[in-house]
Copies of this chain bind each other. A is one copy, B any other.
Amino acid sequence: MKKVKIEIIPVGNEILIGQIIDTNSAWMAAQLTKAGFEIIAITTVGDCTKDICQALDTAFSRADVVLMTGGVGPTKDDITKTTLCNYFNTDLVFDDSVLENINRIFAHKNYALNELTRNQAFVPKNCTVIQNIVGTAPVLWFEQNNKVLVSMPGVPFEMKTVMSDEIIPRLRKQFQSIDYLKSSLLISGITESALAIRLSDFEEQLSQKFSLAYLPSYGLIRLRLSAWGAENAPEMEARKEQLKQLVKDVLIDESDKPLETILGEKLRSKKLSISTAESCTGGNIAHQITLISGASNYFKGSIVSYANQVKSDILNIDSEIIDKYGAVSREVVEQMAQSVSKKLKTDCSIAVSGIAGPDGGTPDKPVGTVWICTKVKDKILTQKYQFGTSREENINRTTNMALLQLIKMLE
């Protein structure tokens, strides 16, 4: 059975000049893989007829389905629709059902319809129109030589709605999907190359149908064993058990879930609550924890004590301690962890204090110096880390390491 191949074509100069990060494609790729289709390429091009047409030619030469996002707004810089008319040698016709949909949305929002928005109801003659119930740009579905091309909006929540409600169900109906099997292991405490050496015999014996991939980031390695086809499920199960035995001393979790999800699951199953006291991360640890739906079951709150005055006024850290050891110190971070869990009445807490940079470093405490204290009931664990010189990087690494440190304590 042949895998159905999909190519994604995001369109937009704003991506090519780096004004925005394309988050759509990752979301689409994850959903489509889960639905049993293989993504073979993601080709981003600008709002330029020639480049779009070349990308379509290449995509049709190697893929069964081509999914385009973007370039479908009401303004002049958006040219995807007219380009598709040229490409498929067809004309625009007015579609009343699209206008009806636009009118419904505008009535709800109390907007007045204008000519440009009305023009959104012009669609290529030879395509199937799918209503976009959350936006004014219709979704266009073309078929040619048993291949499918879909043009949809690039606005993330519009794209997600039409993909989930319409595109994926239709693709599953029209094409044969194949199960994508994946076993993921989250590993910490070993380098990528040392892990690969440890797993070299395992890899040698692995059948061609299986592939093993290493994805290292911020002190973690995500190990992914994958194969296409439900018939490989028993072998997948057996291989995963083998792998687990081989890495059991460095295994954090049997998933590729984000750390905040793993932490949430552990806190829930142990019926523990949590709070955070954050300095250099500025609230990012609390933010990550609360991205998870249902976090209110265990997360109570956070005190972001960016200024030292907040450390003493709100967290009641002894100002003499701050003066003596500095805000970035074992002593301060331990008091922060104790204080926040007492004040917010939680079983666990995370406290961090560090120098995110790019300024504020000293020879003693260069940029990237971070203290992390994690607390579970009466036990605390305090560790010092030395990260890099990039502010954003330091915030992200501190967040990851803090979550990981608490996850390890909860094992």
A→B interface (CB under 8 Å)? 13-23, 25-33, 38-47, 51, 54-55, 58, 62, 73-77, 111, 114-117, 134, 136, 155-157, 160, 180, 182, 191-194, 196-197, 203, 211-217, 222, 224, 226, 256, 276, 278, 281-287, 289-291, 293-296, 299-307, 309-310, 313-314, 343-345, 356-360, 388, 390-393, 395
Contact = CB atoms under 8 A, between A and B. Distances in A.
A314 B344 contact: yes
A192 B301 contact: no
Given A217-B155, A287-B284, A314-B343, A116 B33 contact: no
B19 A22 contact: no
Given A282-B286, A388-B157, A299 B291 contact: no
18 contacts: A18-B25, A19-B215, A21-B22, A21-B23, A41-B46, A41-B55, A75-B192, A75-B214, A282-B299, A287-B395, A290-B304, A290-B306, A293-B357, A294-B359, A296-B360, A300-B309, A301-B305, A309-B345
Kindly name the residue among A23, A136, A283, A314 whose own CB sees the greatest number of chain B CB atoms within 10 A. A283
B296 A301 contact: no
A74 B41 contact: no
B290 A282 contact: yes
A101 to B, nearest CB: 15
Contacts of A285: 283
Given A276-B304, A301-B304, A309-B345, 18 more contacts: A17-B180, A18-B27, A47-B213, A73-B192, A76-B196, A77-B213, A114-B194, A276-B283, A282-B283, A282-B286, A283-B286, A283-B304, A290-B306, A301-B310, A302-B303, A313-B343, A313-B344, A314-B344
